[in-house]
Amino acid sequence: MAKYKKAENCIDCPYRSQQYSFLTLEQRQKIQSSCIIVNFKKGENICKQDLTVTHSLYLADGLVKVFIESEKKNTILRIAGKGEYIGIQSIFGDGNYHFSITAIEPSKICLIDVNYFKELCKKNSEFLFSITQTIARCTNEIFQRLTFLNQKSVKARLASTILFFADEIYQSDTFVFSMSRQDLADYIGISRENAVRLLGELKKDKVIKVSGKNFIITNREILETIKKLG
């Protein structure tokens, strides 16, 4: 079960958001007095589809998946890393989440009451502008994901995903891949069996080494070519 605690020192917090710099001292103090820090274990739900938005969600640390749930299979919209607001679109929509968010790795979330968050946006134009940029970037990522899923071959999707995690998430060609094989399949829009088979082919061709969750890119050039040719 997720563990809760009150924020103690937001001003000197190493996890504070870039938007925090736009706040006045009074606004910073009010955030600290109301902020709740929640630590989620891997696999725990941070928010659930169709529930009411009660707080803004700032991912101070960790890694999460944003996805749409359905009876047949889940569709992962994006992977979010530390240092960003997540699910922010729902605050300015109809007040309900239209997706779920689950921790892929142990994650630290800062919660601010949604009404105060909206108040900050109304009173502080720089803060609002930065939040709007975040929403636009997330929306663009989802548009790119849709294009990616519709226009790329399954092998190109897998190659792109491995490179994305190596370059954007772990900054290394050697990493421990946090996603389950089912999550990987949901992310690239194929069955789990096909995801495992494709990983096996890349491994057999000595493009990657895979042992459980341990990944090593051994031939980046071929992986980049597969991604490009699609």
Q: What is the CATH number of the domain that holds 160?
A: 1.10.10.10
* CB-based contact 218:207 (threshold 8 Å): yes
Same domain assignment for residues 36 and 131: yes
Closest to 64 measured CA to CA, from 89, 83, 92: 83
Structure tokens that stand for 104 in this block = 């892929």
Single out the residue in 87, 116, 148 at which a domain terminates: 148
Output the tens digit of pLDDT for each of the chain's 230 residues: 667 788 777 777 888 888 888 888 898 888 888 889 999 999 999 999 999 999 999 999 999 999 999 887 888 999 999 999 999 989 988 889 999 999 999 999 999 999 999 999 999 999 999 999 999 998 898 888 888 888 889 999 999 999 999 999 999 999 999 899 999 999 998 899 999 999 999 999 999 999 999 999 999 999 999 998 87
Q: Structure pTM?
A: 0.88
Same domain assignment for residues 19 and 45: yes
| Cα–Cα distance list, 39 to 4, 36, 81, 150, 168 (Å) | 7, 10, 15, 36, 23
Same domain assignment for residues 72 and 107: yes
Domain span including residue 199: 152-229
Q: What is the CATH number of the domain that holds 8?
A: 2.60.120.10
Strand spans (E) along the chain: 3-6, 36-40, 45-47, 55-61, 63-68, 75-81, 84-86, 100-103, 107-113, 174-176, 208-211, 214-217
